[in-house]
Structure 1
Amino acid sequence: MTVKVKVGEAKTHLSELLAKVEAGEEVIISRGNTPIARLSRIRRENDIDAVIAEIKAMRSTLQPTTQAEIREWRDEGRRY
């Protein structure tokens, strides 16, 4: 998910924006309606905690999976 903010808002809420970036979101900073900068997380190859946090952030945006959906996925392509 991408968050878009103006320069003044970015100055005021920098800590909150950095927390969102750490969770895997991208922040676009604009002057007026013109985008001027992008904040994104620096990826570390061996940072397991960061990968887990990124997965949790991504999963939090999804709808819960039902048991019926899981059974459908399990049985997909099977012949009875």
Structure 2
Amino acid sequence: MLNILSIIIGLVALVLAIPAFLPLLGALNWLIVPIALVGVLLGFLSSSNSGRNLCLIVLAVCIIRLSLGGGIL
């Protein structure tokens, strides 16, 4: 059950991350990173790894995007 919840949270974070790749919308990643962290924590509590891995990928991509934009752009 926690894995399914983690996958849903990961998919929501992924959908929110798509517009954050547009120029001047990179600050949305500050919203997405905590959402993905909640998904990672739920994924750690579940017995399966797929939800956790999805949230970790979304988290890594958003952090890289934040670092490339200087934390704002």
Q: Which structure has greater helix proportion? A: 2
Structure (1/2) with the larger strand percentage: 1
TM-score range, shorter chain: 0.3 to 0.5
Normalising by the residue count of structure 1, what TM-score does the alignment of the two structures yield? 0.31
Which structure has the higher relative contact order (CA within 8 Å, separation 6+)? 2
